[in-house]
């Protein structure tokens, strides 16, 4: 029974997006799919036991939550907790050195694969994550007898050297790669030069996904929660989307120049900078993030209600909040229906699904 391991060269590369997109595309083609995430890194308690938060989300997005085979513990037989790692480091984790844990994963895989046309196996972290416990992706692909799709997300550049190394190490198990989140300014270079180079070295490039602002966005409500902040106005507009941010520490004239070029940008500014706050409000930013636990004056508060722009109050300084925002927008999980649909459309439009299906034999 064909199986596909969806891994990546690093964490936060879009594995959930690609997995859901592929699963929905296969289902649309009439294939009965199975899904598992062998190693979970986001522990969550369920009635059935310890499970992985990402796996539960993907199960629901693929409509498998009513499937009796896809119980939380069957989908994720290994959930990494602090105790799990400490036991592995100190030699107390049974099966870590002799392949016992991998055998448990294989048994769970075989059970989930019964009656399926194709299995989707989602990775955690990079292709080398889990080596300390004998559960790395390179070894797992070989043990399960599946093909691997490796995602390489653009971060300053692509990891072409690592992709070449993986091709050698996987001994024919590499179905292809997806180059993800490529900025518009690099699309031509990647398409015209890097992709043909990888193909010439025996690495099929199954898709080049352009950067999509929506996929790297977060709602105002989620942003407030993640920053540990408090929404103090326009509470009914916390579903607006933030896809970037602008720091409002400059003079108003310079701020206006930069602000006009930014779309869906939250403005991070000190609570005492009412001049910048007013410009941002009138310019229809999705929200203001006021730092230093300083509340705005009554004029700003009134305008935010009239213009329906939420204000978030946070305790930290502007620099600290900006660093948090950068991490959030880079690593925010795909959790809402809009992103699921958008991710599925990106996969359907940019991935060579026919080539992938031919490689899998489905």
Q: What percent of the chain has pLDDT over 90?
A: 65
Bridging pattern class, strands 118-122 and 310-313 = unpaired
In contact, 179 and 190? CB cutoff 8 Å: yes
pLDDT for position 257 = 75
Nearest to 7 by CA among 134, 180, 132: 180
pLDDT band of 336, cuts 50, 70, 90 = low
Judge whether 239 and 336 are in contact, CB under 8 Å.
Answer: no
Report d(CA 44, CA 42) in Å as an integer.
7
Supply the CATH classification number for the domain 218-331: 3.40.1390.20
CB burial of residue 105 (10 Å; 0-12, 13-18, 19+): buried
Per-residue pLDDT band for 124 (boundaries 50, 70, 90) equals very high
Angstrom CA distances, 33 to 15, 113, 206, 238, stand at 17, 8, 20, 36
Q: How many CA atoms lie within 13 A of 217 on its CB side?
A: 25
pTM to 2 decimal places: 0.79
pLDDT of res. 259 = 80
Mean pLDDT across the chain, nearest whole number? 90
Taking 60 as the threshold, does the pLDDT of residue 334 lie above it?
no
pLDDT at 36: 97
Question: pLDDT at position 196, please?
Answer: 97
Short-list 165, 174, 183, 184, CA closest to 206? 174
**In the chain, pLDDT over 70 holds for what percent of residues?**
96
Whether the per-residue pLDDT at 178 is higher than 60: the answer is yes
CATH no. for 3-214+333-360 = 3.40.50.300
pLDDT band for 230, please (50, 70, 90 cuts): very high
Q: What is the rounded average pLDDT of the residues 181-189?
A: 93
Instruction: Choose between 226 and 114: higher pLDDT.
Output: 114
Q: Does 312 have pLDDT greater than 70?
A: yes
Burial of 127 (0-12, 13-18, 19+ CB in 10 A): buried
Most confident by average pLDDT, 116-125, 274-283, 316-325, 345-354: 116-125
Q: Per the structure block, which two tokens stand in for 314?
A: 């946070």
- Using pLDDT thresholds of 50, 70 and 90, give the confidence band for residue 131: very high
| CA pseudo-torsion sign 68, 74, 76, 81 | positive
Q: Do β-strands 3-8 and 78-79 pair in parallel, antiparallel, or remain unpaired?
A: unpaired
SS3 label, residue 358:
helix
Q: What is the pLDDT of residue 327?
A: 79
Question: What are the domain boundaries of the chain?
Answer: 3-214+333-360, 218-331
> What tens digit of pLDDT does each residue of 242-266 get?
888 888 877 787 787 778 777 888 9
C-beta separation of 291 from 269 below 8 A: yes
350: pLDDT confidence band, cut at 50, 70 and 90? very high
Say if residue 176 is exposed, middle or buried (CB neighbours under 10 Å; 0-12, 13-18, 19+). Answer: buried
Please report the DSSP string for 43-93 in residue order: EEEETTEEEEHHHHHHHHHTT-TT-TT--HHHH-SEE--HHHHHHHHTT-S
Enumerate long-range contacts of 319-324, CB under 8 Å, 24 or more apart. Answer: 321/227, 321/268, 321/289, 321/291, 322/245, 322/247, 322/268, 324/226, 324/227
Helices 318-331, 220-227: inter-axial angle, 10-degree rounding: 120
- How many Cα atoms are found within 13 Å in the side-chain-facing hemisphere of 113? 17
**Residue 340 — pLDDT band, cuts 50, 70, 90?**
confident
267-292 pLDDT tens trace: 999 888 888 899 889 888 999 999 99
């Amino acid at each position: 029974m064909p199986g596909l391991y969806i891994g990546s060269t690093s964490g936060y590369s879009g594995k959930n997006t690609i997995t859901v997109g592929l699963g929905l595309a296969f289902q649309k083609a009439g294939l009965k799919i199975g899904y598992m995430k062998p190693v979970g890194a986001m522990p969550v308690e369920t009635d059935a036991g310890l499970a992985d938060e990402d796996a539960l989300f993907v199960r629901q997005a693929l409509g498998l939550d009513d499937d009796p085979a896809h119980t939380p513990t069957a989908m994720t037989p290994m959930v990494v907790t602090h105790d799990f790692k400490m036991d592995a480091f100190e030699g107390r984790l049974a099966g870590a050195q002799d392949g016992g844990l991998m055998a448990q994963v294989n048994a769970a895989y075989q059970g989930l694969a019964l009656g399926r046309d194709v299995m989707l196996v989602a990775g955690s972290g990079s292709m080398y994550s889990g080596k300390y416990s004998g559960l790395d992706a390179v070894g797992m692909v070989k043990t399960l007898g599946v093909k691997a799709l490796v995602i390489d997300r653009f971060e300053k550049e692509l990891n072409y050297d690592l992709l070449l190394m993986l091709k050698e190490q996987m001994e024919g198990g590499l179905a292809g790669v997806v180059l993800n989140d490529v900025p518009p300014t690099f699309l031509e270079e990647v398409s015209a030069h890097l992709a043909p180079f990888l193909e010439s070295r025996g690495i099929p490039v199954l898709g080049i996904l352009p950067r999509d602002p929506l996929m790297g966005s977060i709602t105002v409500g989620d942003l407030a929660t993640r920053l540990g902040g408090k929404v103090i106005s326009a509470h009914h507009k916390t579903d607006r989307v933030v896809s970037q941010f602008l720091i409002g520490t400059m003079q108003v004239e310079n701020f206006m120049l930069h602000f006009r070029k930014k779309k869906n940008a939250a403005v991070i500014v000190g609570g005492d900078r009412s001049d910048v706050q007013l410009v941002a409000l009138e310019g229809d930013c999705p929200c203001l993030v006021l730092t230093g636990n300083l509340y705005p004056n009554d004029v700003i508060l009134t305008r935010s209600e009239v213009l329906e722009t939420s204000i978030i109050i946070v305790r930290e300084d502007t620099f600290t909040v900006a660093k948090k925002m950068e991490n959030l927008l880079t690593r925010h999980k795909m959790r809402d229906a809009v992103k699921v649909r958008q991710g599925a459309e990106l996969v359907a439009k940019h991935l060579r699904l026919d080539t992938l299906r031919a490689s899998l034999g489905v």
